[in-house]
């Protein structure tokens, strides 16, 4: 019995395909399926072509795939754009009110039905959903449950409308219920926000930029429940500098942006490094350079993120590959940033930020608030005390007997500006010793994940969101897949261990220069085959599989 | 009260910054005597001679980047609203590099005090024109004279809805001390443009000595009246008939940004536990 479904719903922007996508995902999730939703939309508010592609799988769903089983079309363009992607038995359920022609599937006058039932035009989506439910033989009770939860006061009328779609279709098969607990559906942005909050986030500051905006929306919506501060300020330069200021007072602060905003933030990154203030930046990549393809995907900021900011900067760069990992590592990076009083970047991309995943809530139990090193209140407080491991204890303004001097200039232990060469070198050395401690810390963490056939002599290296489709391809081909998650300080030893016995290495990433190859080369790792995609769309598992067939 | 540090002072001998520093220390001593907690004071600087001030003060301090002290101060205030945050910034940082932060901080009525050491030149980089340099300013980047007219920063802050707008003069130290005390006491965004001759690159001392006069604190809640007084001088230093008023031009009371955004929340002091059952 089939336990893997691919459903695409599309229409013009503003027609509600995205909401419908999440309702369809909830339906499958309710009967135990694991979900991934890919959101595709151009940079406009009305018109154009938006679609959500839902993957529902009985075991695991980490990416969308080729071959659409059900194409739900609100407009003709949806059919024209995707009819060639239909799977062998794939069918189209379409709006026959404004689509004429002969298509493989069923046409339903959804606009007319919605009008007859007294609904507003956006509710026509429900007719398509009702039809889909009937075709796959899903229990109507599931629809009632999901609509009530998702559509709240509009549930009743939408159910009436959906029932018309349900009644106008025939059941082709009866979908199997999966015996496992449904998981909540969250976007990567939401999952990472939860992880950060669990690790003690006090303050989130941002300026809207796709695809990171969802973090701002989610935290602003829930700031009361989380008891945190959330503000939007004038620009990214302002945001990063305000964040470093807030961290100086002891508030765990995080900022979020995409590549262009991150570029503006680099001066603050440098300030945080020099003044040893903790700072977490989320850089959710989109297709660049320049404004690029602003609502689409790319992993082109890797080298930039690893080196951004003027001067010798010690930093953590962590690149999780899905919602679960984003949740865990957002919490971890906040703790690490405070433990080592240094800037950190969580590097994700649109495919993680805006895609929806079945979220494993138990991850939250692995994220805790870890207390940073605080001053013991003995003697005079020295903000930059020259200790052996380079980590000077923290104290904050407002505390008794504390004069805390944070300095962007090179400074002495108290925080007074210095320019003498011996004093400059002494403080540089302190920070370099701290970097050595950071490297040791990385060795203690699971910085590299291994999937697929662990004993294979062939390995595919991927990072970030490419993990999803690559894992599926590697498992199918029976090869090893290696995902370095912490990218700075680079987990050299763990990578070498992961590559032990491997004779051939392939690399897949969504940028044109093969940026990860350059990073790997720095550590003596040679790549035999590069699979690069740079049309601003993420990989399908089938694409990676195809390219690795003769590898 | 000991407000000095061991830091070596590197201003030019006779620098007018000494007057501003002294006025500030006097203001702080007086405020602390009246009950302000020294631990809760944070002074913020950027770069330039002005920002060296924070090294000379035995107070919590945050050295920011060029143009960013105001926004750093906003972050500090939002991080812990209990703190009294005072910014030292130059005209280059405030009106050139970081002008957007000045406008937005005033617009938001963030409860911080901004003291601008306005010498109408980039001094530490050896005398280029800034946004408040007069027309025809001759510096090494404009050997034939700057073609730009200066900005009137008081007009800008008034237009940005700043709630405390004042001008001081470095050479009138007692007057300045008094202004600083009032600015720090003001709940909301307080701004003092301090005229500060640069004895090395743009010595305007005798010009200001002749022109500057103190205004009375009258009709402080009238923007119209404030604008009239602000427009008495256009910062251009060309029209010889203009006098330069100093004092408070505008002062009104409005809820500050942190009060409206945070309510009773103090981000740096909040309990870290969150009930995760409640969020959805």
Assess if residue B10 is contained within a domain.
no
Structure tokens at B244: 């330069």
Alpha-carbon distances, residue A277 vs A12, A319, A383, B137 (angstroms): 46, 21, 11, 40
pLDDT at A104 over 90: no
Q: How far apart are CA A477 and CA A471, in angstroms?
A: 10
Q: Which of the 8 DSSP states describes residue A287?
A: B
pLDDT at position B280 over 60: no
The nearest CA of chain B is from the CA of A497 a distance in Å of 37
CB contact set of A221 (below 8 Å; sequence gap of 6+) = none
> Can you give the pLDDT at residue A548?
96
Using an 8 Å CB-CB cutoff, list chain B residues near A197.
274
Question: Cβ–Cβ of A248/B79 closer than 8 Å?
Answer: yes
Does B58 sit within 8 Å of A246, measured CB to CB?
no
**Would you call A246 and B63 a contact, using CB atoms and an 8 Å cutoff?**
no
CB contact under 8 A, B73 and A245: yes
Q: Are A469 and A338 within one domain?
A: no
**∠ CA(B216), CA(B222), CA(B225), 5° rounding?**
60
Measured between CB atoms, which of A235, A403, A408 is closest to B63?
A408
Do A314 and A377 fall into the same domain?
no
Residue A176 domain-assigned (yes or no): no
Domain that includes residue A315, residue range: 185-366
> CB distance B52–A417 less than 8 Å?
yes
Mean pLDDT to the nearest integer, A536-546: 97
Angle between helices A125-135 and A155-167 (to 10 degrees): 50
The predicted pLDDT at position B237 comes to: 79
Please tell me whether residues A158 and A218 are part of one structural domain: no
Tell me how far apart the terminal alpha carbons of chain B are, to the nearest angstrom.
53
Q: Which residues contact B240 (CB under 8 A, 6 or more apart)?
A: none
CB-based contact B118:B131 (threshold 8 Å): no
Distance, in Å, from the CA atom of A248 to the CA atom of A279, rounded to the nearest integer, reads 10
Residue A382 and residue A344 share a domain: no
Q: Give the tens place of pLDDT for each residue, B217-276.
A: 999 999 999 999 999 999 997 777 899 999 999 999 999 999 999 999 999 999 887 766
The partner residue sitting opposite A403, judged by closest CB among B58, B265, B267, is B58
| Domain assignment present for A299 | yes
- A353 plus A303 within the same structural domain: yes
Q: Is residue B279 part of a domain?
A: no
CATH of the domain at B238: 3.40.50.970
List the CATH number of the domain containing A514.
3.40.50.920
Q: Shortest CB distance from B71 goes to which of A227, A242, A409?
A: A242
d(CA A207, CA A184): 28
Residue ending a domain, choose from A396, A427, A445: A445
Has residue A454 got a pLDDT over 70? Answer: yes
Min Cα distance A250 → chain B (Å) is 5
In this structure, are residues B195 and B118 in contact, taking their beta carbons and an 8 Å threshold? yes
* A to B CB pairs, distance under 8 Å: 170
Provide the pLDDT for residue B69: 98
B:76-135 residues touching chain A, CB 8 A cutoff: 76, 78-80, 82-83, 100-101, 104
Which residue from A198, A237, A242 is facing B75, i.e. has the nearest CB? A242
The residue of A242, A276, A414 whose CB has the most chain B CBs within 10 angstroms, and thus the best one to mutate to test that interface, is A242
Q: In this predicted structure, what is the pLDDT of residue A28?
A: 98
Residues A440, A452, single domain; the answer is no
Task: Give the pLDDT of residue A470.
Answer: 98
Distance CA B67, CA A483 (A): 41
Ramachandran area for residue A290 (φ above 0: left; ψ -120 to 50: alpha; else beta): left
Domain range enclosing B107: 17-269
Residues in chain A with CB shorter than 8 Å from the CB of B75 are 205, 241-248, 253
Q: What burial class does residue A439 get, using C-beta atoms within 10 Å of its C-beta: 0-12 exposed, 13-18 middle, 19+ buried?
A: middle
Place of tokens 């940079």: A43
Closest CB to B74 among A198, A226, A245? A245
Split at pLDDT 50, 70, 90, the class of B13 is very high
Say if residue A54 is in the same domain as residue A143: yes
pLDDT reported for residue A550: 87
Q: How confident is the model at residue A354 (pLDDT cuts 50, 70, 90)?
A: very high
User: Domain total for chain B?
Assistant: 1
Mark yes or no for CB contact A227/B278 under 8 Å. Answer: no
The Cα–Cα gap between A472 and A135 comes to 28
B12 within domain boundaries:
no
Asked if A261 contacts A288 with a C-beta cutoff of 8 angstroms, the reply is no
Tell me how many domains chain A contains: 4
For the beta carbon of residue A154, count every other beta carbon within 10 angstroms. 16
Q: Are residue A400 and residue A325 in the same domain, yes or no?
A: no
Quote the CA–CA distance of A318 and B229 in Å, as a whole number.
55
Q: Using CA atoms, how far apart are residues B41 and A397, in angstroms rounded to an integer?
A: 8
In a domain, A172, yes or no: no
Q: Collect all residues of chain A within an 8 Å Cβ-Cβ radius of residue B51.
A: none
Beta bridge partners of A394: A374
Residues A355 and A207 occupy one common structural domain? yes
Residue in chain A nearest B62 by alpha carbon: A406
Contact (CB, 8 A) for A201 and B77: no
Amino acid A46: pLDDT: 87
Interface test with A, best of B51, B75, B107, B278 (most A CBs within 10 A): B75
pTM, two decimal places: 0.97
Whether A42 and A75 map to the same domain: the answer is: yes
Structure tokens at A417: 């500006």
Shortest Cα–Cα distance, A246 to chain B (Å): 4
> How close B60 gets to chain A, by Cα (Å)?
5
Angle in degrees, 0-180, between the axes of helices A467-477 and A541-548, rounded to the nearest 10? 50
Nearest CA-CA distance, residue A270 and chain B, Å = 10
Tokens matching residue B201 = 């690159």
pLDDT of residue B279: 57
Distance separating alpha carbons of residues A204 and A243, to the nearest angstrom: 8
Q: In DSSP terms, which residues pair with A384 in a beta bridge?
A: none
pLDDT of residue B241: 86
């Amino acid at each position: 019995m089939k336990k893997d479904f691919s459903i695409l719903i599309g229409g013009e922007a503003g027609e509600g395909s995205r909401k419908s996508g999440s309702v369809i995902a909830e339906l499958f999730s309710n009967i135990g399926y694991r979900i991934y939703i890919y959101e595709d939309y151009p940079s406009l508010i009305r018109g154009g072509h938006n679609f959500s592609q839902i993957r529902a799988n009985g075991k695991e769903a980490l990416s969308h795939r080729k071959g659409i089983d059900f194409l739900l079309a609100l407009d003709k363009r949806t059919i024209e754009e995707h009819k060639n992607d239909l799977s062998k038995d794939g069918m189209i359920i379409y709006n026959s009110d404004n689509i004429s022609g002969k298509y493989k599937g069923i046409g339903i006058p959804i606009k007319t039905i919605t009008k007859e039932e007294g609904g507003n035009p956006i509710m026509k989506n429900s007719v398509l959903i009702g039809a889909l439910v009937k075709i796959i033989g899903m229990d109507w009770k599931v629809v009632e449950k999901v609509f009530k939860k998702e559509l709240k006061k509009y549930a009743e009328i939408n159910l009436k409308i959906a029932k018309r779609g349900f009644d106008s279709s025939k059941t082709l098969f009866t979908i199997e219920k999966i015996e496992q607990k449904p998981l909540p559906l969250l976007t990567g942005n939401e999952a990472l926000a939860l992880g950060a909050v669990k690790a003690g986030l006090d303050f989130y500051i941002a300026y809207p930029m796709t695809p990171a905006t969802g973090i701002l929306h989610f935290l602003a919506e829930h700031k009361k429940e989380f008891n945190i501060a959330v503000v939007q300020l004038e620009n990214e330069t302002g945001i990063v500098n305000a964040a470093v200021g807030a961290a100086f007072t002891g508030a765990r602060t995080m900022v979020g942006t995409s590549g262009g905003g991150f570029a503006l933030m680099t001066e603050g990154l440098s300030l945080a490094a020099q003044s040893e203030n903790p700072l977490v930046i989320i850089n959710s990549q989109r297709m660049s350079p320049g404004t690029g393809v602003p609502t689409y995907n790319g992993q082109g900021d890797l080298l930039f993120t690893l080196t951004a900011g003027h001067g010798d900067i010690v930093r953590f760069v962590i690149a999780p590959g899905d919602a679960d990992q984003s949740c865990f590592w957002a919490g971890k990076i906040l703790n690490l940033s405070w433990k080592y009083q240094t800037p950190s970047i969580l590097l994700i991309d649109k495919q993680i930020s805006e895609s929806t995943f079945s979220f494993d809530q138990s991850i939250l139990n692995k994220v805790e608030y870890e207390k940073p090193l605080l001053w013991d209140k003995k003697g005079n407080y020295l903000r930059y005390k020259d200790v052996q491991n380079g980590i000077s204890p923290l104290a904050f303004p407002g505390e008794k007997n504390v004069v805390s001097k944070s300095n962007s200039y090179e400074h002495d232990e108290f925080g007074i500006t210095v320019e003498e060469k011996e004093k400059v070198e002494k403080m540089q050395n302190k920070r370099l010793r701290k970097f050595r401690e950071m490297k040791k810390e990385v060795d203690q963490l699971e910085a590299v994940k291994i999937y697929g056939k662990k004993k294979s002599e062939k390995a595919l290296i991927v990072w970030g969101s490419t993990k999803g489709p690559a894992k599926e391809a590697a498992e199918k081909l029976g090869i090893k897949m290696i995902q370095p998650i912490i990218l700075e300080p680079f987990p050299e030893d763990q990578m070498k261990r992961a590559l032990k016995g491997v004779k051939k290495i392939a690399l897949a990433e969504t940028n044109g220069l093969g940026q990860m190859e350059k990073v790997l080369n720095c550590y003596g790792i040679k790549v035999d085959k590069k699979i690069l995609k740079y049309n601003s769309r993420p990989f399908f598992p089938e694409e990676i599989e195809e390219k690795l067939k003769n590898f | 009260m000991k407000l000095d540090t061991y830091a070596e002072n590197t201003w030019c001998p006779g620098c007018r910054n000494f007057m501003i520093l002294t006025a500030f220390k006097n203001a702080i001593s007086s405020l602390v005597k009246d009950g302000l907690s020294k631990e809760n004071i944070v002074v913020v600087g950027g770069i330039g001679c002005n920002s060296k001030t924070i090294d000379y003060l035995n107070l919590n301090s945050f050295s920011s980047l060029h143009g960013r002290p105001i926004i750093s101060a906003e972050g500090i205030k939002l991080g812990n609203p209990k703190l009294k945050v005072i910014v030292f910034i130059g005209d280059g940082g405030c009106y050139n590099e970081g002008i957007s932060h000045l406008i937005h901080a005033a617009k938001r009525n963030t409860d911080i005090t901004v003291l601008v050491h306005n010498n109408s030149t980039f001094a530490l980089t050896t005398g280029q024109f800034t946004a408040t340099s007069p027309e025809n300013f001759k510096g090494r980047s404009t050997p034939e004279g700057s073609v730009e007219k200066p900005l009137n920063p008081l007009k800008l802050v008034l237009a940005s809805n700043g709630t405390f707008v004042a001008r001081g003069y470095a050479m009138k130290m007692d007057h300045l001390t008094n202004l600083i005390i009032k600015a720090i006491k003001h709940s909301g965004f307080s701004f003092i443009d301090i005229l500060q001759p640069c004895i090395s690159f743009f010595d305007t001392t005798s010009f200001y000595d002749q022109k500057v006069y103190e205004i009375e604190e009258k009709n402080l809640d009238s923007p119209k009246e404030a604008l009239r007084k602000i427009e008495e001088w256009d910062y251009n230093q060309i029209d010889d008939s203009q006098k330069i008023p100093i004092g408070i031009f505008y002062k009104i009371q409005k809820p500050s940004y942190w009060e409206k955004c945070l309510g009773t929340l103090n981000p740096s002091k909040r309990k870290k536990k969150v009930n995760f059952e409640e969020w959805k």
